[in-house]
Structure 1
Amino acid sequence: MFWADKIAADAVGNQIVNDSKTPSGRVHVGSLRGVIIHDVIYRALKHAGKPVKFLYGVDDYDALDTVPKYLDKDKFSPYLGFPLCNTPSPEETASDYAKYFMGEFLEVFEYLGVQPEVYYLRDLYRSGKLNNSIDIFLKNAHLVREAYKEISKADRPDNWYPFQVVCENCGKIATTVVTDYNGSEVFYTCKPDATNWVAGCGHSGWVSPFNGNGKLPWKVEWVAKWELLGVTIEMAGKDHSQKGGSRDVANAICRKILKKQPPFHSPYEFILVNGTKMSSSKGVGSSAKDIAALLPSELLRFLMLRTQPRSAINFSPNNETVTRLFRDYDTLNGKYQTYLGANPEKSEITEDFIPLFYSQIGDEIKSYNPFDFSTLISLLQIPHIDIKEEVAKRSGDSLTEFDWEIVNQRIAAAQKWLADYADEEEKLVLYLDKVPEKAGELTQIQVSYLERLIENLQKLTNWEGEELQTTLFSTSKELDMPQPLAFKAIYLSFLGKEKGPKAGALLSYLEKSFVIARLQDAINLNLAVAK
């Protein structure tokens, strides 16, 4: 059974699925893994007929702890230590920092068909909804300290209380330490040395902890959210889920103070970019918004779901990785349509196709005529080609309206990839006006290969990629020539470099007369060099 369906099958009673994010900067694609995992659990529960709500929290009372490298340091450094919701927006399109970056992320939610009920921590604090939890945890500060000590071996002083005040003098929340609670007010100090990245102002005094005057530390806050919202299922990333880690501490606080079982939990692995975990505040990796602009929504969901949650995803938007993603998706969809054709009476989706099912925005896996993504990348780089005419010509069968919808998505994705992600080595730069100078470096055996190839191409009646590829191979065999040497001659003649895309496909994009003329020009160039 698929992992999400198993969770749904085991669930009893009303279910509240919850996930959250601190919008400390541009939200990266890594954060989408948790979003999709929780969305699929929600969908699995709905399909199982279980009553369920999906909530998504914005932890905007957390402090701004660093200025991302893509923002104006002079503008935002004065706000280090401030709650994100009290920090100005980078642009006038939003009321504040948190709303700005979360707004970008929520656009991606909509694109991916993810529709949780979104709530902001500022609202829960300022409306007084968390007042009761604040009071409970302050009155039981000794038990919170015990939980930290027992689970994570973290010592807290006897006068440490689980609360951070928004300093009345300087506005920082990261630098305040609470050391007393009298049942209605807390005593706090905004300590100059509370952190190593921002200094407190030294102010101290008594203040009410209620109605938005401060926040609980996030491990305690986690438990307060579970209690207030009735959360029954909340997964967490591997970093929070290790033994003695954040989730274990939160679970212990929940049991010790509230006398309740914490929500169902299972850890999930990270998304890595070339082996590096993504970080919003450090600006590492690709933003969720950028990747959503690159990949069609079903492909982005598929990227998240084809790998088990406990396995890491190492995603790098290079040619090989992206084209393989499209190819794998097309292959699985094709297998599903074949299965459906052979078993039209079966409405139940077998386990092999569950990741494909949950990758859809809706509940239907539609059939389409796949057009190879790598071919689109190449075609878009051939001057004077009408891309849609070329797709229609190569597709053979008449394309449906939905087929064209898929093709248009992929043309946009290929254009985006070429503009923003392709390395120079991955780009196809055809020399159309003249033979590249590098073609003058061919060896005698390579010149002989081009001469024989002209003869064989002139006889060819079917100017298609596979037929051309076969001819390129067979010509090298006729001369008992190493294939890499032969293909190097082709690439030097058309691209001016030693490597390129599949050579047969490359030549198929060009007119037969142009190809033969170019090969002759390359031969003549070498004859001239030899003289």
Structure 2
Amino acid sequence: MFWADKIAASSQGEQIVNDSKTPSGRVHVGSLRGVIIHDVIYRALKHAGKPVKFTYGVDDYDALDTVPQYLDRDKFSPYLGYPLCNVPSPGDNASDYAKYFMGEFLEVFDYLGVKPEIYYLRDLYRSGRLNEHIDIFLNNAHLVREAYKEVSKAERPDNWYPFQVICENCGKIATTVVTDYNGKEVFYTCKPDATNYVEGCGHSGWISPFDGNGKLPWKVEWVAKWQVIGVTIELAGKDHSQKGGSRDVANAICRKVLHKKPPYHSPYEFILVNGTKMSSSKGVGSSAKEIAELLPPELLRFLMLRTQPKTVINFAPNYETITRLFRDYDTLIEKYEREGEKEALTKDLLSLFYAQLGDEVKTYQPFDFSTLISLLQIPHIDIEPEVEKRSPQPLSEFDREVVKRRIEAAQKWLDDYADEEEKLVLYFDEVPEQAQALTDEQVNYLTKLIENLENTESWDGETLQTVLFSTSKELQMKPGAAFPAVYLSFMGKERGPKAGNLLSYLEKSFAIGRLREAIALKEAIS
């Protein structure tokens, strides 16, 4: 049984699946793992016939605590410490900072077929929906302090209250400290030394904590959200799920203050890009939008789902990783076509099922992604007719649609991600000078290969690959010594794409002629 189906099978009654994000900057692909995990739990519950809602919170009352490196520091530094929803938008297409960055992320939601009910924390606070819980936590501040101490060993002063006011004088929320509550108003001070990234203005006074005048600390706020939204299932990343960490603190507050059972929880691991954990504010890694522009939606969902949630995903968008991703997906499509309905699917096919944008796996005639990358780099090739010609069976309309999306992905990868050594650089006008490095053994191989190629009637990649191998075997030569002779002759380097495919991209007369030229170049310097 797939992990999400297990959760669904053990759930009783109506479920509300929740996830959330603080839009502190460009949202990175790492944040998509939680989105997809919660979306799949929601879908699994629906498939199990259980009543369920999927909600997604935007934590836009959090403070701006750093200016991302891709923004104008002079423009945004004055807003450090402000609630994100009170910071100006970096662009004209949004009312404020939080909606600007969240808007970009929500476009990726649509692209991936994820459709939760979106709510903004500003609305929960300003509408008064959180007032009751603000009052409860302020009146029970001593219990909140105890929970922090018992779970995370964090000491809070006896006059510390779980609330931060938006300073009436300077507009900052990060710098205010509440030290009293009389049942209607809190007493706060905007302290100059409250944080290490911005100074408070020193103002102090009494103010109502209700109707949007401030916010709960996020671990307390998390608990309040659970109650107001009715959350029953919410997973969290490993960083929040450590023993004594944020989720443990929130669970303790939920039990100690509200006497309620926390929502179902299980930790999930990070997504690393090139081995680096993502950070929205630092701009490290690849943004969700950028990866969505690279991968078709089903492939991006599949990237998240083919690995168990508790296993790290390390996605390096290099040639080997991205071609393997497409190849693995195509293998499952072929397996699905053989094995059929969801009820009988194995775990790997269930990851394929939940990778779809809807509840149907549409099969197609796979066309190798690495071949597309190569074909796009061959001058004078009309790519779509070339794919038609190379396909073993006529393409359906859906086959053509899949191929078109993959051509776009392959071109995007070539333009934005491919290193120079990963690109197929063919020398059409002259023999690469590196062919001078051919050994006598390799010259013998090319001489015999020319003879065998001239007698080869079919000029497709698989046939040519067989000829390349059989020629090396005929000469009792290891492929690892023979094949570099082919790459040196056409590309000037010792490695490249599948050699049979490489030759198949070229006219037979040109390919054989080039091998003769490479031999002549070597003999000329010998």
TM-score range, shorter chain: over 0.9
For 1:347 and 1:294, how far apart are their aligned partners in 2? 28
Q: Which residue of 2 aligns with 1:382?
A: 378
Q: Which residue of 2 aligns with 1:279?
A: 279
Structure 1 residue 483: Cα displacement: 2.5
Q: CA RMSD in A?
A: 1.3
For 2:444 and 2:331, how far apart are their aligned partners in 1? 40
Q: Which residue of 2 aligns with 1:224?
A: 224
TM (norm. structure 1) is 0.97
Pair 95,327 (structure 1): closer, same or farther in 2 beyond 3 Å: same
Matched, 1:499 2:486: no
For 1:17 and 1:302, how far apart are their aligned partners in 2? 21
Matched, 1:96 2:96: yes
Q: Secondary structure at the match of 1:314?
A: strand
Deviates more, 1:477-486 or 1:70-79: 477-486
Structure 1 residue 350: Cα displacement: 2.3
Matched, 1:350 2:336: no
Q: Which residue of 1 aligns with 2:156?
A: 156
Count of residue correspondences? 525
Q: Which residue of 2 aligns with 1:331?
A: 331
Pair 7,347 (structure 1): closer, same or farther in 2 beyond 3 Å: closer
The one-letter amino acid of 2:371's match is: T
Matched, 1:406 2:410: no
The one-letter amino acid of 1:365's match is: V
Q: Which residue of 2 aligns with 1:343?
A: none
| Residues 4-30 of structure 1: CA deviation (Å, up to 9, x unaligned) | 112112211111111000011111111
For 2:353 and 2:384, how far apart are their aligned partners in 1? 29
1:44-193 alignment runs, 5 A limit: 44-193=44-193
Q: Which residue of 1 aligns with 2:317?
A: 317
Structure 1 residue 451: Cα displacement: 2.1
The one-letter amino acid of 1:465's match is: G
Structure 1 residue 347: Cα displacement: 6.3
Structure 1 residue 220: Cα displacement: 0.3
Please say if residues 60 and 122 of structure 2, whose CA atoms lie closer than 8 Å, have aligned partners that are also in contact: yes
Q: Secondary structure at the match of 1:118?
A: strand
| Residues 217-253 of structure 1: CA deviation (Å, up to 9, x unaligned) | 0000001101111111111111111111111111111
Q: Which residue of 2 aligns with 1:32?
A: 32
The one of 437, 451, 472 equivalent to 1:455 is: 451
Q: Secondary structure at the match of 2:343?
A: coil
For 2:439 and 2:250, how far apart are their aligned partners in 1? 70
Structure 1 residue 2: Cα displacement: 1.6
For 2:512 and 2:2, how far apart are their aligned partners in 1? 54
For 1:13 and 1:477, how far apart are their aligned partners in 2? 66
For 2:222 and 2:519, how far apart are their aligned partners in 1? 72
For 1:499 and 1:79, how far apart are their aligned partners in 2? 52
For 1:209 and 1:227, how far apart are their aligned partners in 2? 19
Q: Which residue of 2 aligns with 1:432?
A: 428
For 2:126 and 2:270, how far apart are their aligned partners in 1? 33
For 1:347 and 1:417, how far apart are their aligned partners in 2? 33
Structure 1 residue 526: Cα displacement: 2.1
Q: Secondary structure at the match of 1:57?
A: strand
Matched, 1:253 2:249: no
Structure 1 residue 50: Cα displacement: 1.1
Deviates more, 1:168-177 or 1:384-393: 168-177
> What fraction of aligned residue pairs are identical, expressed as a percent?
78
Please say if residues 342 and 353 of structure 2, whose CA atoms lie closer than 8 Å, have aligned partners that are also in contact: no
Please say if residues 465 and 500 of structure 2, whose CA atoms lie closer than 8 Å, have aligned partners that are also in contact: yes
Pair 349,73 (structure 1): closer, same or farther in 2 beyond 3 Å: farther
For 1:475 and 1:11, how far apart are their aligned partners in 2? 62
Deviates more, 1:147-156 or 1:202-211: 202-211
The one-letter amino acid of 1:379's match is: L
TM (norm. structure 2) is 0.97
